[in-house]
Amino acid sequence: MDSIRKEILITTQRLRFFADGANKNHVVWTADLLPTNQAAATAAMIDQSAAVMQRTLDKSASEG
């Protein structure tokens, strides 16, 4: 009988937003995950998502 190995991804993520003056904010995105062999893929997804957030916020600021 072949053994079946299942890999379970466990992740906890947190986004924190900090105001820095009237028109500036900082975002801190923390991700904890297991197994750690998924870290590179998760980091890439976070980077892509952060870029989308930045473009959206920049566009909103220029329209407002």
Written as six digits, the tokens of 23 are 């028109």
**pLDDT of 25:** 84
CA gap 45, 26 in Å, rounded: 19
**From start to end of 3-54, where are the E strands?**
10-19, 25-34
pLDDT band at 1 (very low <50, low <70, confident <90, very high): very low
On average, the pLDDT of the chain sits at: 84
**pLDDT of 22:** 80
- pLDDT tens, residue by residue, 15-39: 999 998 887 888 899 988 888 888 8
